[in-house]
A = this chain, B = another copy of it.
Amino acid sequence: MAKERSENWKYYDHLKKIYKKPEDYELAGKSYTRVDAEDKVTGRAKYTEDIILPGMLYGKLKRSPYAHAKIISIDTSKAEALSGVKCVITGKDFHGGKLGNPEAFKELADKDPLCRDEVRFVGDEVAAVAAVDEETAQEAIDLIEVVYEELPCVLNSTDALKDDAPAVHYPDTHNISMFTTMQAGDCDKAFAEADYTDKHHYSTQMMVHAAIEPHGAIAKWENNELTVWTTTQGAYVSRFWIAYGLGIPQSQVRVIKPYVGGGFGGKLDAFPHELSACLMAMKTGRPVKIILSREEVFFGTRSRHPIEFTIESAFKKDGTMLAKRCQHVLDGGAYGGSGIAANALSLIWATFPYRIPNLDMTARRPYTNKPASGAMRGYSACQVHFANDVHMDEVAEELGIDPVELRRINGCVPGYQGPTGLQVTSCAFRETLDKASEAIHWEERKNNLKPGEGIGVAGSGFVSGTGFPVLETPAYASASTTVRLNREGYATVFTGANEIGQGSDTVMTMIVAEELGLKMDEVKLVQSDTTLTPYDAGSFGSRVTFLGGNATRRAVGDAKLKLLEVVAESWGCKPEDITMKDHRVFIKSDSEKNISYSEGIWMYEEKHFGKAVIGVGSFAHDGDKDIYVKNEGNYAPAYSFSTGAARVEVDDETGCIDISDFIFAHDCGRPLNLRAVEGQIEGSVLLGLGFAVYEECLFNEKGKMLNPSFRDYRFPTALDMPQIQSIICGEPDEEGPFGAKEAGEGSTAPVGPAIVNAINRATGLKFHDLPVTPEKVWRAIKEKKAAEAANH
């Protein structure tokens, strides 16, 4: 590997000798049941909504009916007078900072916990009430009288950039909340020398996460400490913003993440309902719970950025890609939050999985008067890979090169170093391409398609963990774990990794059990509680398995080494001569020489005067620092690669799209829990399918969302799912925990373009704008037939 190993790795090198060797793995790579399965299937799992505290009040939020308006006055007197109402707050009651994300960019934070002067989207929060029950709280909300002066609004990114557009936040900025560029090589020269250039426009729609659990929070104020249970993807991140928004020290806030019913990026930010619950708990001295309705989750939380793409590419005749120019315009909605990262990420994804030596790219994220866009699973990657991989098929057609072959020619290879600093280590992109196309019977089918049948492929790459370069230190985006070995025959792991349904609790448990030779139920997991667990930046950027997993393996390794050093000294051997398996500590060369796990811990504690065997581990990717500053550098410690292949049948009478097969070939290194990886892939296909042909948030001309419900916002259900075949590719990554790389986000990105490429092939049409709904297909087929008829 060309990539130089960073200090982060070297620091923990001494543990390598006592890590379990691949030939001894008993759990890693196998399938096993989630540790939370029984809690979840029995309904015992406590989600935020399930928590009831004595004396608890229930809160509701007052929201703006206007997309853009000045707040002239707020009269809360009638609400306050209502019996059962304990607290009414407005923006003026907050004395802390504005909300944003991440901490490093807190100067860019732009969202008052409750609006003070202006509202910026239909649903923007202007007041909150806490009352003895939800009905009373809602009644009080309706009694709050807000006088607005309506302002002109802007509802799409193209309009937002115009010179005469109304300013959503700041005048004279063209509404741009973030501007990013990335250049490499010499694009002008490459375009001039190219055999072929192509230019197209693509666009994607606004989509929501539709997590099964709505957002909610409960706050309790006791002994001058705020305890907050909240639906978060990052307990530590939530804590920062809660403290910051309230203007109190973080040491006065404890955030506990209960079970979370899906996040998908939508639970990364700090939300007005959290801050309002906190402030009202502080004012009343009683716990306050606010759970958003499904409708509020749609327009009051976060959504996926709609992006407009203009892509120009330059190729040689033989298919070698020479250069790409592109402009991304992301519709940011009314606020920043985690959404401001979308811009830079969209450019990063555009640099791979294909090798492009010359790049000239810009991304702009204008504000609009719509709900804020934010992170969503496959953050910016779903949109970017859709545009790029549909573009790739168009280029292939023009060049007369098979689309699979064109991708093979240009795809990343192990050790590839991108022109902007990308450093690929393990990479099985070509294998994913080969296996996916083989499984879809590409060669047999491509020239023998039935009428209305189409096949398509698409590739993608994704980061295995990334981080924000806050305070110019990688420690900010770190993961830290502690592990305690217990003389009573088990281990306890304290991890900040935020289980949000993805299975991280199971993976952290497995890592500890595997290293110590314990059973899964002999590892107790303590997770995501700022008092109990060490710092972890949260569940985003596909960082949990790689960063959290490595931190956990290093922590258990640290504890294991301490233990083995004592045993080795007693046995007159070296720690690396000893292995742990089946609840026993063995000397490798002499299986007769062994003691139980508990006896080993006793031996340590006796020697160390009762000291608990504690291991500490961490992971901090130290290659990130320059990315957001100079837009160059290596984005992540490892990269996953994948190819999706779809076979569709399109009914030319109705436009209906039947996805008959979906093949997903994914290089995620060694899958730590095979069943979980397959589950991630199947979930990814569902998400990609919804993105490609089903889902879209619709607004009227006043900025009101028209379909904020599971009835009107159509996403695919189990009945809509195609037959999915998952193919795990690649080799264990040298630096992943037990060789693992990410499996949850990268896998979403190639689904949409593979399906659209198949639809384009099936219909002979070129769809550039998502979603490709049956209606859109039907209209396009009708137009095409009319045009053909007119030509004949």
- B610 pairs with A475, CB closer than 8 A: yes
- B471 pairs with A612, CB closer than 8 A: no
**Chain B residues with CB below 8 A from A482, complex form:** 482, 484, 612, 614
**Chain B residues with CB below 8 A from A471, complex form:** 602
**Assuming the A-B contacts A251-B486, A521-B224, A535-B487, are A610 and B614 also in contact, with contact meaning beta carbons closer than 8 angstroms in the complex?**
no
- The majority secondary structure among interface residues of chain A is mixed
Does any Cβ of B come within 8 Å of A254's Cβ? yes
The CB with the most chain B CB atoms within 10 A, among A479, A534, A610, is that of A610
**Chain B residues with CB below 8 A from A8, complex form:** 609
Q: Looking at the complex, which one of B38, B239, B609 makes contact with A620 (CB distance below 8 Å)?
A: B609
- B620 pairs with A610, CB closer than 8 A: yes
- B480 pairs with A251, CB closer than 8 A: no
Does any Cβ of B come within 8 Å of A608's Cβ? yes
Nearest-neighbour CB distance to chain B for A429, whole angstroms, equals 29
Complex: A521 Cα to B490 Cα, angstroms: 32
Complex: A473 Cα to B551 Cα, angstroms: 33
CB under 8 Å from chain B, chain A span 532-560? 532, 534-535, 551
Does any Cβ of B come within 8 Å of A44's Cβ? yes
Does any Cβ of B come within 8 Å of A7's Cβ? yes
Q: Looking at the complex, which one of B250, B535, B610 makes contact with A619 (CB distance below 8 Å)?
A: B610
Does any Cβ of B come within 8 Å of A605's Cβ? yes
Q: Per-position contact with B for A263-291: 1 when CB-CB < 8 Å, else 0?
A: 00000000000000000000000000000
Does any Cβ of B come within 8 Å of A611's Cβ? yes
- B535 pairs with A524, CB closer than 8 A: no
Complex: A224 Cα to B474 Cα, angstroms: 40
**Chain B residues with CB below 8 A from A474, complex form:** 606, 609-610
**Chain B residues with CB below 8 A from A146, complex form:** none
A residues lining the B interface (CB < 8 Å): 7-8, 11-12, 38-39, 44, 222-225, 239-240, 249-252, 254, 471, 473-475, 478-480, 482, 484, 486-490, 492, 521-522, 524, 526, 530-532, 534-535, 551, 602, 605-606, 608-612, 614, 616-620, 622
Nearest-neighbour CB distance to chain B for A549, whole angstroms, equals 14
Q: Looking at the complex, which one of B11, B522, B532, B606 makes contact with A251 (CB distance below 8 Å)?
A: B522
**Chain B residues with CB below 8 A from A44, complex form:** 222
**Chain B residues with CB below 8 A from A489, complex form:** 249-251
- B251 pairs with A612, CB closer than 8 A: no
Nearest-neighbour CB distance to chain B for A745, whole angstroms, equals 22
**Assuming the A-B contacts A488-B250, A531-B526, are A617 and B622 also in contact, with contact meaning beta carbons closer than 8 angstroms in the complex?**
no
Complex: A473 Cα to B610 Cα, angstroms: 9
**Chain B residues with CB below 8 A from A609, complex form:** 7-8, 11-12, 474-475, 478, 618-620, 622
Complex: A482 Cα to B483 Cα, angstroms: 11
Closest-by-CB residue of B relative to A488 is B250
- A611 pairs with B602, CB closer than 8 A: no
The CB with the most chain B CB atoms within 10 A, among A222, A240, A605, A622, is that of A605
- B249 pairs with A606, CB closer than 8 A: no
- B480 pairs with A612, CB closer than 8 A: yes
- B606 pairs with A612, CB closer than 8 A: no
- B602 pairs with A612, CB closer than 8 A: no
**Chain B residues with CB below 8 A from A11, complex form:** 608-609
Closest-by-CB residue of B relative to A254 is B524
Q: A250-B488, A478-B610, A605-B618 are in contact. List 10 more A-B contacts (CB 8 A).
A: A38-B223, A44-B222, A251-B489, A252-B521, A254-B524, A482-B612, A526-B531, A535-B605, A535-B612, A610-B619
The 9 closest A-B CB pairs, nearest first, are A478-B610, A610-B620, A251-B490, A250-B488, A534-B612, A610-B618, A611-B618, A475-B605, A480-B612
- B535 pairs with A532, CB closer than 8 A: no
Complex: A611 Cα to B473 Cα, angstroms: 13
Complex: A609 Cα to B474 Cα, angstroms: 7
Closest-by-CB residue of B relative to A616 is B614
**Chain B residues with CB below 8 A from A618, complex form:** 605, 608-612
Complex: A249 Cα to B487 Cα, angstroms: 12
22 A-B residue pairings within 8 Å (CB atoms): A12-B609, A38-B223, A223-B521, A250-B488, A250-B489, A250-B490, A251-B488, A251-B489, A473-B606, A474-B606, A475-B610, A478-B610, A480-B612, A482-B612, A484-B534, A492-B532, A532-B532, A534-B612, A534-B614, A605-B618, A609-B622, A611-B618
Complex: A44 Cα to B239 Cα, angstroms: 24
Complex: A782 Cα to B608 Cα, angstroms: 64
Complex: A492 Cα to B530 Cα, angstroms: 10
Closest-by-CB residue of B relative to A224 is B521
- B535 pairs with A526, CB closer than 8 A: no
Complex: A486 Cα to B251 Cα, angstroms: 9
The CB with the most chain B CB atoms within 10 A, among A240, A535, A618, is that of A535
Complex: A451 Cα to B7 Cα, angstroms: 85
Complex: A539 Cα to B214 Cα, angstroms: 45
Complex: A356 Cα to B7 Cα, angstroms: 64
**Chain B residues with CB below 8 A from A478, complex form:** 605, 609-610
Nearest-neighbour CB distance to chain B for A43, whole angstroms, equals 10
- A611 pairs with B617, CB closer than 8 A: yes
- A223 pairs with B39, CB closer than 8 A: yes
**Chain B residues with CB below 8 A from A530, complex form:** 488
**Chain B residues with CB below 8 A from A602, complex form:** 471, 473, 475
**Chain B residues with CB below 8 A from A605, complex form:** 473, 475, 478, 535, 618, 620
